[in-house]
Structures are given as structure tokens and as C-alpha cells.
Amino acid sequence: MNRKLEGKVALITGSGRGIGKALALKLSSEGAKIVINDLDEAPANETVAEIKSNGGEAIAFVGSVTQDGFADKFVAEAVKAFGTPDILINNAGYTWDSMIHKASDKQFDAMYEIHLKAPFQLNRAFVQAVIPVAKEEAETGKETFRKIINISSIAGEYGNIGQVNYSSMKSALSGMTKTLSKELGRYKINVNGVAFGVIETRLTQATDEKKTIVVDGNEVGVGIPEKVSAGFAKMIPLGRSGTAAEAADGVYLFCIPESNYISGQMMVVGGGLRM
């Protein structure tokens, strides 16, 4: 069987759970070696174990993408384990919602750290590892395409009530994506983004219970009220929210050779939803 990502090395942040985990399993099934990252050790190791049980190769790198020095260490660990990386997917993230008249600087800064500064640092570390190899390949006339995929949201494309901090960072991430596609094209690095609509994860589960998680020391709410969730479903042309596997399939399109001549694009994976 000809697997599209045979031997490629893929780094995926936030890949112990949800969409990130679905991505890791998808890329591994196509032959990629995966570097799993999660805040918590247990889900990261569980995803690695599942990949290995399916005959794939993976390692875990536990920690927050917002930690000082994380990006350089993450990429260095990937190089040590598998060699020059081929794919970077900036997937880690969460929301900390509030209307602007109630929003704090701390909420704004938290979204900046994880949704804009961390991708900047990770993209830089990835590129620094790749460029020397890409230059050597170019000298021999070899064309090897590598991929950066920045994960965004339709909130960054169209805005969303209560998410001035989150939507601002995701909108800025689109600018980063388009700029890097121009800077890195000569090194045969495709840079694209995927903006998710309503995807079923622990962060977007329909519930009227008050649920929270702790991220980087911040307690943030998760879940969407039942009525709001139902309202979203009515707005989506395909009639329902997407699954983590469907979200991963959208990102996968930017990882495979068929997307080698596509760069600087922000694709919405949202069942046709336009907010």
C-alpha cells in the first residue's frame, strides 16, 4: 500500500486529546512519525501507545507551548528522535471568553501567548531546523516540500461575540500564515491555515452544566449551552457540528503531496458555516 506520508516527521501540538489526537492517528496511518505534545503526561502517552499498537512510530513531549524555551526543545527532541521534521501543526489552544466590558488584560494576554506567540516561536524553531537541509537539497536540484499548518477558527475569520481576545489572535494568525508563505516558499515550505467551525470536543460539548478546566494555571469555562449549541446546528448548512476526525481530515489535505502547490491559504472546515 502506498501511504502518502511514508517516512515523514510530523510535530503536532495539543495532540493528546480531541482534534490533535485525531490528527496524530490520521497522519500516522499514512506513514508519518509523530511527535505528540500535550499539557498532561497521561493523554500524551496514551496517544503514543495507540499509535504504536497500530504499527506506527511516535514519541511524547509533555509541556505547555507557552513555556519559555518550549519551541526549541520540542523541535530539538523531534530531530533527535526522527531527523529533520517535515510537518508542523500548531494545534494547541483553548478559549477564555468574556464580553469586552468584562474582559481582563490577563484573559487577553493568555490568548496572545498560546494562539499567537507560541505559533510564532514554533514556526521559527521548525524553520531554523529545516532551512539548512532545504538549502542542501536545492543545491542538488532536489525539491522536498515541507508543511506548516496553523490552526485557526471561524471566529478569526468573521468574529464572534464574547471572543474579542481569541478572535483577535486567530485573525492575526492568518496574517502570519500569509506572510510566512511568502518568506518560506523558496525553501519549499508550504504554509497554510485551517479555520475550524463548530467541532465536537471537550471544549465545545453541549451542556448546561458549569464545567471548567485549568490551563497554565488559569481556570476557564468549557462547553456550550444546549440552546446555543442547537442554534449553531441550525446555522450550519450541513446540519450538524463536525467530528474531530472530520476536522483532522481537513488539516490532512494540507499535509499531503497533492497540496504542494498550495500556500498562503486559510481554509474553513465548518460544514459551510459563515458566522
Model confidence at 6, in pLDDT bands (50, 70, 90)? very high
CB within 8 Å of 246: residues ≥ 6 apart: 199, 269
Q: Which grid cell is 265?
A: 491559504
Predicted confidence (pLDDT) at residue 62 exceeds the cutoff of 70: yes
| Residue 243 buriedness (CB in 10 A; 0-12 / 13-18 / 19+) | middle
CB 38 within 8 A of CB 12: no
pLDDT tens digits, one per residue of 248-261 = 999 999 999 999 99
Model confidence at 215, in pLDDT bands (50, 70, 90)? confident
d(CA 185, CA 146): 10
Predicted confidence (pLDDT) at residue 205 exceeds the cutoff of 80: no
Q: In this prediction, what percent of the chain has a pLDDT beyond 90?
A: 83
Model confidence at 224, in pLDDT bands (50, 70, 90)? low
> What pLDDT, on the 0 to 100 scale, is given for residue 201?
79
The arithmetic mean of pLDDT across residues 11-34, rounded, is 97
> What pLDDT, on the 0 to 100 scale, is given for residue 65?
98
Which residues form the catalytic set? Answer: 166
> What pLDDT, on the 0 to 100 scale, is given for residue 225?
66
pLDDT tens digits, one per residue of 106-129 = 999 999 999 999 999 999 999 999
Predicted confidence (pLDDT) at residue 210 exceeds the cutoff of 90: no
| Residue 55 buriedness (CB in 10 A; 0-12 / 13-18 / 19+) | exposed
> What pLDDT, on the 0 to 100 scale, is given for residue 184?
98
Predicted confidence (pLDDT) at residue 203 exceeds the cutoff of 70: no
CB within 8 Å of 204: residues ≥ 6 apart: 198, 222, 223, 224, 229, 241
Model confidence at 234, in pLDDT bands (50, 70, 90)? confident
* Residue type at position 112: Y
CB 70 within 8 A of CB 86: no
The arithmetic mean of pLDDT across residues 57-77, rounded, is 98
pLDDT tens digits, one per residue of 141-189 = 999 999 999 999 999 999 999 999 999 999 999 999 999 999 999 999 9
Considering the chain, what is the average pLDDT of its residues?
Answer: 93
> What pLDDT, on the 0 to 100 scale, is given for residue 85?
98
Spell out the domains of the chain, with CATH numbers in brackets: 9-202+244-269 (3.40.50.720)
> What pLDDT, on the 0 to 100 scale, is given for residue 222?
67
